[in-house]
Amino acid sequence: MHTHDSSDTSALSTHTSESEQNYSPFTELDRPTWARLAHELEQPFDLDDIDRLRGIGEHLSLTEVEEVYLPLSRLLSIHVAASRQLRRASNEFLREYTDPTPYVIGVAGSVAVGKSTTARVLQEMLRRWPNTPRVELVTTDGFLYPNAELERRGLMDRKGFPEAYDRRRLLRFVADVKSGTPEVRAPVYSHLTYDIVPDEEVVVRRPDVLIVEGLNVLAPPRVRADGTAGLSVSDFFDYSIYVDAKTSMVKDWYISRFMGLRSGAFADPQSYFHRYSKLSDAEAVETASDIWDRINGPNLAQNVLPTRGRAKLVLTKNQEHAVTRVLMRKV
């Protein structure tokens, strides 16, 4: 259902009966409507911040940060405050005291759609709100099985698919953070070596907010052989965001990013993909398109896109990587 200004609302009530309205679990706001929410908020970033946070092949701008991510960070800040107030009220009702636990936000979306940039921008912005100075970001890449294990299981061409992750370890990590465990550790993944980094970890020590970013973080629980369902990572999320775009556009962005990496990360002799650095433009387009069609495209269609409706907020992008629409779940 679209969100209207007051004049639109009065017109709607005049000409549309309650039974004729198209009810939806989401409120839809177009870019201008959403951007107006930022008018009373101060832009905390400068161009250096944008350059540092921008992902490869993306076009993050000060305008995008101000009109899209500033209102979103304020909304999340409000949700964090409300969550703490609810805990205080519950403690008072139960006549007991329980320590506040981190507020957990999930960020999902396709490869190359810009979810990592969204997560980094939100981390930086939330740190600047007074009630959330400590914000940690963990990506689910660290919970991929090491390459040796993927090869043993015949899954090297299934990286990013649900079966390529140590889901039990990821679930335990998020559950421990949400339970208030003083110190929780996560593995580290290197996009240079395309593998888990031995003996390196991310240490999370009871932050105000934890952002968990990854392809499949909104996946529902797996159904066991006996028909019962266990827990999913998203069961521990307080809020969830899905970064969305047409599949054809995301494929174009993936190919463009692959082209740029030839002279970037791929050029490093240590890179797992160093062999691609010498490809011609035509060969690079063909290679990237093949990888997309065999791996990333099917994973998006089969596993990632079906989780979009589980998000509490959906950011929809156009061809220029600009968010044009925001869908917010009402319930």
Residue ranges at the known binding site for ATP:
109-116
8 Å CB contact between 117 and 163: no
Name the burial class of residue 39, with classes exposed (0-12), middle (13-18) and buried (19+) by CB atoms within 10 angstroms of its CB: exposed
Neighbour tally for 275: CB within 10 Å: 10
What is the C-alpha to C-alpha distance for residues 228 and 221, in angstroms, rounded to an integer?
10
Helices then strands, each counted (H, E), the chain: 11, 9
Which two structure tokens, joined as six digits, stand for 264?
A: 């970037």
Residue 202, exposed/middle/buried by CB under 10 A (0-12, 13-18, 19+)? middle
Which positions make up the binding site?
109-116
Residue 313 and residue 107: Cα distance in Å, rounded?
Answer: 10
Burial per residue of 90-118, b for 16 or more beta-carbon CB atoms within 10 angstroms, e otherwise:
eeeeeeeeeeebbbbbbbbbbbbbbbbbb
Token digits for 318?
């156009």
Residue 182: alpha-carbon gap to chain centroid:
25
DSSP 221-249: PPBPTTS-B---GGGG-SEEEEEE--HHH
Which one, of 252, 193, 239, 240, lies nearest residue 216 by Cα?
240
* Tokens, residue 20: 């004729």
